[in-house]
Amino acid sequence: MTSSSSYIYELKESDKRGEIEKFLKDLPKNTADYAKSLFPIASWIGRYNLTWFIGDLIAGLTIGVVVIPQGMGYAKTATLPPEYGLYSSFVGVALYFLFSTSKDITIGPTSVMSLLIAQSLASITGGDKNFPYTNPQLASSLAFLSGMVALVIGLFRLGIVTNIISAPVIAGFTTGSAVTIATGQVPSLLGIKGIDTTQACYLVIINIFSHLSKIKKDAIMGLVSLFVLYVIKFSTAYLSKRLPKWERIFFFIGIFRIGIVVIIDTLISYLINKNVSAGNLSAQSPISVLGKVPTGFDHLGPPILDKTLLSYVGQYIPSVTLILILEHIAIAKSFGRINDYTSIYLRLFNVKRSGVRTPLAGIFTGALVLLALYVLSPAFTYIPSASLKYVWDFAVFAVGLIVTIFTTVEVGIYSSTSLALAVLFIRLARPRFYAIGRVPTGEGESQKYAYVPMRKAFAHAAHPPDGVLVFRFEEGLTHPNASFIDDKVVEYIKEHTRRMAKRAEKFGDRPWNDAGSRNDETYFQENSKLPPLKAVVFDMTSVSMIDSTGMNSLIDIKKALNKHAARRVEFHFANIATSSIQQTLIESGFGTIETNAEESRPGDLESSGVEDKAEDNSVIQLKKRFFHLSLEEAISAATNGEW
C-alpha cells in the first residue's frame, strides 16, 4: 500500500550562488543586529521613566548595603586585601547594565570564586613569603585572563556549554560550595588563627577541633552577632506574615540586618580600641580587626601579563572560567526558572524583592560602593574580622556537610561536569529505542490509538500484525551509536520473526555463527512458529541527524533483514525530521522498494533524485513511496490497512 501523502518535503535543487548572494546582501543588517544584541540596554533605555528610577534606586542602595561588607569578606576569603573586594563590587555593577539581559543579577565577587582563588593562590605560592609575585598580582592576572575567555564565549555565543550542567548537579554544587565556604569561616568566627581554610572541609573541621583551646574573644562577638542576625531574620519573616500591611518595612529591616550588625560591631570595636593608635591596632586590639583600608582606587591598574606569571596562573584558568560560567549563567538560569530568583544568592534574592525594575539599578549600587571607598574607608579599620565572617547561612552548613565532607570546590566541579559529560555520552552511544504497540484512547466512532513502547508500563498494548515491527528511536543515528542500534534492531527482529533463509545441507558448509548445532534443532523448531518478516516501520520523530555511519548502519540492517526474510523487506519511515535526512534516505535507496540501490553507500549514487529538473511528480512520488507524514499512516501502509 502506498502513502497517500507523497510529499514530506519538496526537494529543491540547491542554489549555492543564490545563498551566497543572499548572505552578502544580509550581512550588513545581520552585523548591525549582532552589534545591537551586545548592548541590550538600547532596547529599553529609551522607555526609562520615573517609576523605574525609584524602583532601581531603592533596589540599588539596598544591595549596596549588603555588597560592601560581603565584598570585603569575600576578599579576605580569597586571601586578598579587603579593598579588592570593594573594587570588584564596584566595577561589575558599574558596567554590567550595558550588557545585562537580566535585571535580577548583581555582578561582583562571590563565595565560591573567592574560595577557588584562595586555593589557587595557595597552590601557586606554596606559602613562600619570598614568592616573586604578590597575591593581588596573581589574582588580577587570573581574573583578567579568565574574563577574556568568558568574553570569547559570550561573543561567539558559546553559552551552550552550560547545557551539560544539569539542575541536580548545580543544586548539589551550590549546597556543597556553601558548606565549603561556611566551614572556612568558622576559624575567623571563633578567632582561631593558623588554620588553612583552603583545605578540604573535613581537614578544616579536624583542625578547628584541635585548636579549640586557642579561641579568642572574637568568638563572643561573632556568635552573638550571628545569633542577632538570625533573630532579626526569623522575626521579620514572622512579623511580615502577621502584619502584612508592614511587610515592606519588615523586609527592608531584614535586608539591612547585615549592615546594621556590622555598624554596631564596628562601633563597639572603636570604643574598645579608641585609645590604641592605628599603627598598633592589629597588635594591641583584644579582638581581630580588619585594619587599614586605603581610600579610593590606590591599587587600580593593568594586570601583569609577563611569561613567568602566565606560567604560574595558566593551569588555573579553565577551573576559574568554569566557576565563572557556572555561577553567573548556569545557576542563574536553572534556579531562576525554578524559584524566580528567590534562592540563588542573597544578592539575587534582595534584588528581586527590593523592587528592581531594570539593570540600571547596578549604577546606584556602584555609587554607594564608590562612596564607601572614598568616605567610609577610615571607619572600616575597626570592623571586627568576625563581622565579615558570619554572613554565611550556617543552616546550609549543617544540611550539606555529608555531601562535601570529602571534597573541595574545584574537585567537585570537575567531577560533576565529568559525570554530566559521561551521562551525555552514554545516552548518545547507548540510546534507548523501543518496539511500538498501541492502546485505544476512545470508544466507538471516536476511538483512536496511542502508539506506545512495548514495555511493562504498557503491558496491555496490542502488538502490530504478524510480520510487521515498529521501532522508535530516541536519538539521532550517528557514529557513536550506529553499531549499537544496528545490532539491537537486527537482534530484536530475528527473535520475533521466522528465519526464512535456507540452511546449508551439509553441517560443514554452515557459517560458524549459524544458530543451532549438529544435535540441537530446538531453535529452529521454535523459530518456525514465528511469523515471517514483512515490513519494518521506523518512527523518526526524535532523529534530527543521520551521518554517513548511521546511514551505513541502516543499509546493513536492510541487507541483514532481507537475508533473514529471504525477500525484500519493506522499510517505512514516519515523521522524518528534516529534508536532509529525507534526501539521504532517497540516495541510499530507502524511498522505494523497486530500486536496486540497497547495496550502495551514501554518496555512491550518481543521482540524488533532485538534480534532474525534468523529473516529473510521478518519479518523485515513487522515490518517496515509503515516507509518511505520521506514524499511523506509515503503519497503515505497512499493514495494508489491516491494523
Q: What confidence tens digit (pLDDT) does each residue in 408-453 have?
A: 455 555 566 677 677 778 888 888 888 999 998 877 777 888 999 9
In this predicted structure, what is the pLDDT of residue 509?
Answer: 61
Q: Is-contact 286 272, C-beta < 8 A?
A: yes
- Chain segment 196-218, per-residue pLDDT in tens: 765 666 677 777 777 777 777 77
Most confident region among 107-111, 404-408, 620-624 by mean pLDDT: 107-111
Give the three-class secondary structure for 104. coil
Using alpha carbons, select from 345, 476, 467, 400 the residue that is nearest to residue 172.
400
Q: Given a cut of 60, is residue 591 above it in pLDDT?
A: yes
Q: What are phi and psi of 498, to 5 degrees?
A: -80, 140
**DSSP letter assigned to residue 594:** S
- Grid cell listed for 214: 586557642
In this predicted structure, what is the pLDDT of residue 514?
Answer: 60
Residue 416 Cα distances to 165, 169, 333, 366, angstroms: 8, 6, 18, 35
Maximum distance among all alpha carbons in the chain? 110
In this predicted structure, what is the pLDDT of residue 344?
Answer: 35
- Grid cell listed for 537: 516501520
Q: Which residue has the cell 521501532?
A: 471
Using alpha carbons, select from 231, 230, 237 the residue that is nearest to residue 251.
237
Mean pLDDT for 105-122 is: 82
Span of 83-92, 240-249, 515-524 with lowest mean pLDDT:
515-524
Q: Which residue has the cell 514516519?
A: 574
- Domain boundaries along the sequence of the chain: 38-424, 430-501+520-638
In this predicted structure, what is the pLDDT of residue 251?
Answer: 84
In this predicted structure, what is the pLDDT of residue 517?
Answer: 46
| Confidence band of 597 (pLDDT split at 50, 70, 90) | very low
Q: At what angle do helices 111-125 and 135-155 cross, to 10 degrees?
A: 130
In this predicted structure, what is the pLDDT of residue 561?
Answer: 93
pTM of the model: 0.61
- Grid cell listed for 152: 570569547
- Chain segment 320-362, per-residue pLDDT in tens: 887 777 666 655 554 444 444 433 333 333 444 556 788 898 8
Sequence-distant (6+) residues with CB within 8 A of 182 are 392, 393, 394, 396, 397
Torsion region of 14: left, alpha or beta (phi above 0 gives left; psi -120 to 50 gives alpha): beta
Mean pLDDT for 167-178 is: 53
In this predicted structure, what is the pLDDT of residue 408?
Answer: 46
Q: Is-contact 536 561, C-beta < 8 A?
A: yes
Give the three-class secondary structure for 502. coil
- Chain segment 389-412, per-residue pLDDT in tens: 554 444 334 434 433 443 445 555
Q: Is-contact 306 293, C-beta < 8 A?
A: no
- Chain segment 119-163, per-residue pLDDT in tens: 889 889 987 888 999 999 999 999 999 989 988 888 887 766 665
Pairwise CA distance, residues 487 & 251, whole Å: 62
Beta-ladder partners of 535:
468, 570
| Confidence band of 183 (pLDDT split at 50, 70, 90) | low
- Grid cell listed for 23: 548572505
Q: Is-contact 202 405, C-beta < 8 A?
A: yes
Q: What's the number of CA atoms in the CB half-sphere (13 Å) around residue 101?
A: 9
In this predicted structure, what is the pLDDT of residue 355?
Answer: 65
DSSP track, 8-19: SS------HHHH
Pairwise CA distance, residues 168 & 154, whole Å: 25
Q: Which residue has the cell 570529602?
A: 406
In three state form, how does the secondary structure of 555-601 look? HHHHHHHHHHHCCCCEEEEECCCCHHHHHHHHHCCCCCCCCCHHHCC
| 50 residue type, one letter | L
Mean pLDDT for 459-485 is: 90
Q: Is-contact 118 78, C-beta < 8 A?
A: yes
Using alpha carbons, select from 388, 366, 374, 316 the residue that is nearest to residue 88.
366
- Chain segment 279-301, per-residue pLDDT in tens: 677 677 888 788 888 888 888 78
In this predicted structure, what is the pLDDT of residue 507?
Answer: 60
Using alpha carbons, select from 409, 554, 541 the residue that is nearest to residue 475.
541
Mean pLDDT for 514-527 is: 64
- Chain segment 304-325, per-residue pLDDT in tens: 889 999 999 999 998 888 777 7
Residues above pLDDT 70, as percent of the chain: 74
The CATH superfamily assigned to 430-501+520-638 is: STAS domain (3.30.750.24)
Q: What is the mean pLDDT of the chain?
A: 78
In this predicted structure, what is the pLDDT of residue 470?
Answer: 95
| 480 residue type, one letter | P
Q: Is-contact 572 537, C-beta < 8 A?
A: yes
Residue 160 Cα distances to 167, 334, 427, 454, 546, angstroms: 15, 13, 18, 34, 22
- Chain segment 326-337, per-residue pLDDT in tens: 666 655 554 444
Give the three-class secondary structure for 452. strand
Strands 433-440 and 570-574: unpaired
Sequence-distant (6+) residues with CB within 8 A of 187 are 193, 195, 197, 204, 207, 208, 211
Residues above pLDDT 90, as percent of the chain: 23
- Grid cell listed for 94: 558599574
In this predicted structure, what is the pLDDT of residue 414?
Answer: 59
Using alpha carbons, select from 579, 578, 590, 487 the residue that is nearest to residue 536.
590
Pairwise CA distance, residues 223 & 189, whole Å: 7
Pairwise CA distance, residues 643 & 635, whole Å: 8
Stretch (H or E) spanning 478? none
The length of the chain, given as a count of residues: 643
Q: Given a cut of 60, is residue 167 above it in pLDDT?
A: no
Report H helices in 390-547: 394-404, 409-429, 479-496, 522-527
In this predicted structure, what is the pLDDT of residue 424?
Answer: 75
- Grid cell listed for 383: 570592623
E strand intervals along 285-324:
none
Strand ranges across the sheet with 535-539: 449-453, 433-440, 468-473, 535-539, 570-574, 627-628
Q: Given a cut of 70, is residue 177 above it in pLDDT?
A: no
End-to-end CA distance of the chain: 13
Q: Is-contact 475 542, C-beta < 8 A?
A: yes
